[in-house]
Structure 1
Amino acid sequence: MVHYIEELIREGEHQQQDFKFCITDSRKIARSLSAFANTDGGKLLIGVKDNGKIAGAKVEEEFHMIKAAADMYSRPKIAFESKVWQISGKNVLEITVPPSKKMPHYAENEKGKWLAYLRKDDENILANKVLLEVWKRKSKPIGTYLKYTETEAVLMEYLNRNQEISLNQYCRIAKISRYKAERILVKLICWNVIELNFYAGGTKYLIKREKISRI
C-alpha cells in the first residue's frame, strides 16, 4: 500500500504543494507561507528533495523555523498545521497552510522590507500594487463603486479585440497616468469584470472567465 506522503510526492510540486530538503532561513520560508495563505492554501513537505527523494527532516529544528516564519516574519501571522510522518525510518514534516481571509499576508525579506506573494503553478510570485489593493478591498465588508466612463470603455473595447493588456499598454492607449490606470483595474477586478494573469515577464489583464478565483 502506498504511503500517504508518497502519494503527495507523486503529485510533484504544484500550486498547492512545495518540497523542502531543509529550512535554513525563516525569512525565505515566510515567502512560501505568504504565497499559500494569499492564494489557495497549500502544503510544505519538509525533508523531501526537489526530485521527490525523501531525505528526512530534523523535525524539532524545522518546526521552530516554520514557527518563526509564521509568527515573526509574516504580517499578519499565518496559521498552519503540522504533522510528522515516518517513512523507512525517515521523518517528513508536513506543514499545511489554509487559504486566509486576512489577505494580504506580507513576508519580511533580508533587508527588512515587507512584501506579499502569491502562488502561481510551482512558484512564489511577488504581488503587484493592483493585486495588493484588490486583496485589501475584498477583505473589507464594503462595496466598490465603479463609474463607467470612456476610460473604462477604451479598456473593454481593446480587450474585446485582443486577449489581454498590460498596465503600460493601458496607460498608453487611454492616455492616463499609471496611478489612474491601476485604480480602474482594481475596481474592474473587484467587480469580476477582468482578471489578472501572471507570466515570467510580468502581469497581463484579461476579461474575466466564469471560474471564480481568489486573485
Structure 2
Amino acid sequence: MKDLKPRKGAAYLQRLIAEGEHEHQDFKYSVSDARKIARSVSAFANNSGGRLLIGVKDNGVIAGVRNEEDLYVVETAAAIYCRPPQDVAFTAYRAEGGEVVFVAEIAESAAKPVMVAESDGSLRAYYRVNDENIAASPLMVESWNRQRQPSDGPLRLTPAETLLLRRIADGYNPTIDDYMRLAHCSRRSAMESASHLLAIGVITLRHDGHQWHLALPPSTP
C-alpha cells in the first residue's frame, strides 16, 4: 500500500465518529500490534463486516495517523495472522484540522470462521458484539463449519432439537450447559444438535456480556 492520497471528508468523518464505537465500527488511535488488529478483522469478518477508523482515539478525538506504516500493520494482520487471509479496503480522509484518518473496511467473510493465529500457536475466532471483540463460541465455530458442508437433504429434526426449539419459542434462552441438562444429553450431543439448528438459521446466539445464549433470530420487518 503506497501513496494513499487523502480526500476531503471532514463532514463524513464527523458523522462516523458521532456514531461512536459499535458492532460495525471501532476507533484505533494506533495500530502497532498486528495480532490485536487481526482480532478486530476476524470479529468483523465473522459478523456482517465493519470498519476501523485509524487515527481516532477511543473518546472520538481525531489525532490523525502518523504515517502509512499503520496501513502495513493492518495489511499484515489481515494477510498473515488471519486464516483465511482477509482483504481490507483503505480510504484516507482529511479532517477539518488537517489530520488524516484512515478508514479500513472489512467485509463479511463468505468462508467463516475467520480464525486468528495466536502467539501460543492456537487458532481462535472472534465475533463483534456491540463495541467489543469477543472470542467466538465453539458452538458458533462448529455451526460455521457445518454451513460449509454439503446439505444433508430434507430437514429432519431430532427429538432433542425439537425440544430446544419449543423451549426457545417459549422465551427460554439457554446456554449450552443449560441445554445439556434440559435434554439429559452429553456436551457432544448438545453441540451437534445446537450447531445443526444454528447452521440452518432457525436459532442464533446472543451474548449477555458474560456468556452465549441460544435464542430465536431477530424477526424481520
TM-score by length of 2: 0.88
CA deviation string 1:84-123 (max 9, x = no partner):
1122221111101111101111112232321111111111
Q: Which stretch of structure 1 is more off in the superposition, 105-114 or 47-56? A: 105-114
Aligned residue for 1:59, secondary structure, equals: coil
Residue 180 (structure 2) aligns with: 171
Distance 1:116 1:192 in 2: 19
1:49 to 52, 57, 72: 57
TM-score by length of 1: 0.91
- 1:148 to partner: Cα distance: 2.6
Residue 139 (structure 1) aligns with: 148
* Matched-pair contact (CA < 8 Å) for 1:47–1:57: yes
Distance 2:135 2:109 in 1: 17
* Matched-pair contact (CA < 8 Å) for 1:117–1:127: yes
* Matched-pair contact (CA < 8 Å) for 1:108–1:114: yes
Residue 206 of structure 2 is aligned to residue 197 of structure 1: yes
1:17 to 22, 25, 32: 25
Distance 1:184 1:6 in 2: 46
* Matched-pair contact (CA < 8 Å) for 1:59–1:84: no
Distance 2:78 2:11 in 1: 28
- 1:144 to partner: Cα distance: 4.1
Distance 2:23 2:16 in 1: 13
Structure 1 residues 2, 66: closer, same or farther in 2, change over 3 A? closer
Report % sequence identity.
35
Residue 30 (structure 1) aligns with: 38
Residue 12 (structure 2) aligns with: 4
Aligned residue for 2:146, secondary structure, equals: helix
2:66 to 36, 58, 61: 58
Q: Give ranges in structure 2 of 5+ residues lacking alignment.
A: 1-8
- 1:53 to partner: Cα distance: 0.3
CA RMSD of aligned residues (A): 1.9
The number of aligned residues is: 211
Residue 70 (structure 1) aligns with: 78
Distance 1:86 1:113 in 2: 39
Distance 1:189 1:144 in 2: 15
Structure 1 residues 191, 102: closer, same or farther in 2, change over 3 A? closer
Residue 106 (structure 2) aligns with: 97
Distance 1:78 1:2 in 2: 28
Distance 1:93 1:174 in 2: 50
* Matched-pair contact (CA < 8 Å) for 2:49–2:106: yes
Distance 1:143 1:23 in 2: 41
Distance 1:84 1:125 in 2: 28
- 1:174 to partner: Cα distance: 1.2
Aligned residue for 1:171, secondary structure, equals: helix
1:125 to 134, 145, 156: 134
Distance 2:82 2:201 in 1: 29
* Matched-pair contact (CA < 8 Å) for 1:43–1:94: yes
2:91 to 60, 74, 83: 83
Aligned residue for 1:35, secondary structure, equals: helix
Distance 1:55 1:163 in 2: 46
* Matched-pair contact (CA < 8 Å) for 1:28–1:109: no
Distance 1:202 1:12 in 2: 24
CA deviation string 1:112-151 (max 9, x = no partner):
32111111111111111211121122234x2146543332
